[in-house]
């Protein structure tokens, strides 16, 4: 184990991030509330930069082709952060093309759902490619959707990786326990800076992290088909369901499904603490992130004891959906008392 790696990571992030702030590079100029609830315009969108730099240490020798696509999705997110590519529909189109090529060149199709009629359709190569592509796009954008509170995304994926480490499920896909430790440590250090509002992930970081985790999950599923695909669904349920629920909600409200807003679950929970408990912005942020990820930790840990049992995993997923929906509707009515949802 390279202990120098652990020593240098926080030092490099601190000084490089300070330089970025001083030079006013990649700053959160918009302060858009749907993206950053604390809304500091002086906080740089540098989290994705540190992720791609340090992921290169882990990935460049493992899979060069995958790494090229990770750089590409990072650049796409960076263009979004810099407002070079500000139209959501265009970003979605470029995402689709990029992820489609990613799935094709890395042979990430052939996913089994253990639902007979769906798997029958997925025997067709083109449908299986399309299915994997759509799954990854849902995850990427879901990751970006939940990146509205400091610590929410980073802590969630830290939990996912920690549970996979505990279960020794990544070794089979040539992702050693040491690499998992390195990656968890990188996320943890970036999380600390994010927690204290010193940096944001930005679209670049959210896109990159979503695609990377999705890649790992598909590799895991293909390596060990005995692991229920619904275990993968459970591990990724929160960002994916947040995306799907948001699409349905926006259609219900007569809005474009790709338009950003501040009506996600974490936003409503933040407003609940801010208005009802009278806590300040930072405290409301921390309470909300802590509650959401504490729940996710418990449910994902519980699911890790039944990774081969599809029935139990489906029940857990349905419980998540039910709890999410009830909680959302309750919080929505508290904030928008006269709104008929």
Distance of CA 86 to the CA centre of its chain: 20
| Cα dist from 225 to 113, 117, 119, 232, whole Å | 10, 18, 13, 11
Residue at token pair 């791609």: 52
- 3-class secondary structure, 1: coil
Q: Are 236 and 135 in contact (CB under 8 A)?
A: no
Nearest by Cα to 239 from 296, 280, 186, 281 = 296
For 196-217, the DSSP string reads TTS---HHHHHHHHHHHHHHHH
pLDDT tens digits along 46-86? 999 999 988 877 766 667 888 899 999 999 999 998 888 88
pLDDT at 60: 61
Q: Can you list the positions of beta strands (E) in 269-321?
A: none
**254 contact partners, CB below 8 Å, separation of at least 6:** none
Residue 3 has pLDDT above 80, yes or no: no
Average pLDDT, the chain: 87
Q: What is the pLDDT of residue 161?
A: 93
> Would you kindly state where each structural domain of the chain is located, as residue ranges?
3-335
**Can you give the pLDDT at residue 69?**
94
pLDDT at 129: 95
Task: State the pLDDT confidence band at 286, using cuts at 50, 70 and 90.
Answer: confident
Q: What is the DSSP letter of 44?
A: B
pTM listed for this prediction? 0.92
> Is 35 a residue whose pLDDT tops 60?
no
Q: Give pLDDT tens digits for 247-259.
A: 998 888 778 777 7
Tell me the pLDDT tens digit for each residue of 290-301: 999 999 999 999
Kindly report, residue by residue over 197-252, the tens digit of the pLDDT.
889 999 999 999 999 999 999 998 888 888 999 999 999 999 999 999 999 988 88
């Amino acid at each position: 184990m390279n202990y120098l790696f652990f020593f240098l990571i926080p030092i490099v992030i601190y000084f490089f991030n300070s330089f970025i702030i001083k030079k006013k590079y990649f700053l959160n100029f918009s302060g858009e509330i749907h993206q950053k609830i604390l809304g500091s315009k002086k906080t740089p969108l540098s989290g994705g930069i540190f992720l791609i730099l340090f992921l290169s240490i882990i990935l460049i020798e493992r899979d060069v082709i995958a790494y090229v696509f990770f750089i590409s999705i990072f650049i796409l997110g960076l263009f979004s952060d810099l407002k070079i590519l500000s139209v959501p529909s265009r970003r979605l189109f470029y995402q689709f093309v990029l992820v489609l090529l990613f799935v094709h060149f890395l042979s990430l199709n052939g996913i089994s759902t253990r639902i007979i009629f769906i798997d029958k359709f997925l025997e067709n190569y083109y449908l299986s490619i399309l299915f994997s592509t759509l799954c990854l796009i849902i995850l990427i954008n879901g990751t970006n959707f939940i990146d509205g509170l400091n610590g929410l995304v980073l802590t969630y994926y830290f939990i996912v990786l920690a549970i996979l480490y505990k279960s020794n499920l990544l070794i089979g896909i040539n992702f050693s326990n040491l690499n998992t430790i390195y990656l968890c440590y990188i996320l943890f250090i970036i999380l600390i800076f994010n927690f204290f509002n010193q940096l944001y992930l930005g679209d670049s970081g959210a896109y990159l992290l979503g695609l990377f985790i999705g890649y790992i999950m598909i590799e895991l599923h293909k390596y060990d088909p005995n692991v229920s695909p619904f275990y993968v669904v459970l591990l990724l349920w929160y960002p994916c369901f947040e995306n799907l629920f948001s699409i349905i909600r926006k259609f219900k409200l007569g809005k474009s499904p790709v338009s950003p807003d501040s009506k996600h679950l974490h936003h409503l929970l933040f407003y609940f603490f801010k208005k009802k408990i009278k806590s300040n912005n930072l405290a409301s942020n921390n309470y909300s992130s802590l509650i959401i990820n504490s729940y996710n930790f418990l449910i994902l840990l519980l699911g890790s004891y039944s990774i081969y049992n599809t029935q139990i995993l489906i029940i857990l997923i349905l419980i998540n959906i039910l709890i999410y929906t009830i909680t959302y509707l309750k919080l929505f009515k508290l904030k928008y008392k006269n709104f008929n949802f």
